[in-house]
Amino acid sequence: MSNRPIGVFDSGVGGLSVLRALRAELPHETFIYVADSGHAPYGERDDGYLIDRAHAIVNWFTQSHQIKALVVACNTATAAAIHVLRQAYPDMPIVGIEPALKPAVAQSKTKVIGVMATRSTLNSDKFKRLLASLDDQARFVLQPCSGLAPAIEEFNATKIGAACAEYTRAMGTFGSKSGEIDTLVLGCTHYPFAEASLRLGTGPTVTYLEGGSPVAQQTRRLLAGVNQLSAEPLTDAINVKLFSSGYPPALASAARRWLNLEAEAFSLRE
């Protein structure tokens, strides 16, 4: 049973940033990655829609691939649906992702922290509870970034650059002086793939925090806790299968571009 795959899903290609961290942390594991691009953008959807999509994808994972664990590699889907998934699958290790506010508080020297995320994530009860728990420890500058994830999904450099410039400018001054934003939380798994464009607006000294590595470490801990870590090294260098509910070649291209992964992507058939 320990040789069964780990399921990973996101609204699109953004979750590849989490998959990258998972593969580094768990090199003996195999992964099934789903980009739900045919139903994106998640950031503009309501909770009911996201819960329905999460149920459909996890049902496909369990029926078609008998996954041993699930990683929800999407901040928006985690905020909307992870509590429902944990109730529906109580025996499965399920790991979600949330904006790295707690590490940001520990990291920041100016205690002014920027948070870029989708509007749905920022409006979610889960995020509001997290923010309230840290409200007296730092000042958070929240920036909804409508359109940025779709631009990254399209790999449209012009749109990515324009969105990054608009949103970093709207947040205020970045830097290391008192009152300046010295730490930026990337609260969507797509955004690490726009770092070069974001740096043009924030400067090179601002610390960026994302959630991929903590998710990978927590996945390892949970699997170890139930004795489900893969016992044998992989015999195949390609340890990922890719599926998309949108246009599979776009997912394969993104995996090649950002993960240096040569793998065919297949159409998701629920």
Which candidate in 51, 188, 250, 268 is catalytic?
188
Instruction: Tell me if 71 sits within 8 A of 98, measured CB to CB.
Output: no
Measuring CA to CA, which residue among 125, 13, 9, 123 is closest to residue 71?
A: 9
Between CA 208 and CA 205 the distance in angstroms is 9
Beta carbons within 10 angstroms of residue 155's beta carbon: 15
Listed in sequence order, the residues at least 6 apart from 126 whose beta carbon sits closer than 8 Å to its beta carbon are 78, 79, 98
Residue 141 DSSP label: E
**255's tokens:** 């995996």
Which candidate in 13, 50, 51, 74 is catalytic?
74
Catalytic site includes residue 164: no
Between CA 220 and CA 111 the distance in angstroms is 31
Between CA 184 and CA 207 the distance in angstroms is 6
| CA 124 to each of CA 47, 49, 69, 77: distance values in angstroms, whole numbers, following the listed order | 9, 14, 25, 10
Between CA 1 and CA 92 the distance in angstroms is 13
| CA 68 to each of CA 87, 235, 244, 265, 268: distance values in angstroms, whole numbers, following the listed order | 16, 19, 20, 21, 19
Between CA 163 and CA 146 the distance in angstroms is 8
Alpha helices for 124-262 (secondary structure H): 125-133, 148-154, 157-171, 195-202, 212-225, 248-259
Catalytic site includes residue 74: yes
Catalytic residues: 74, 188
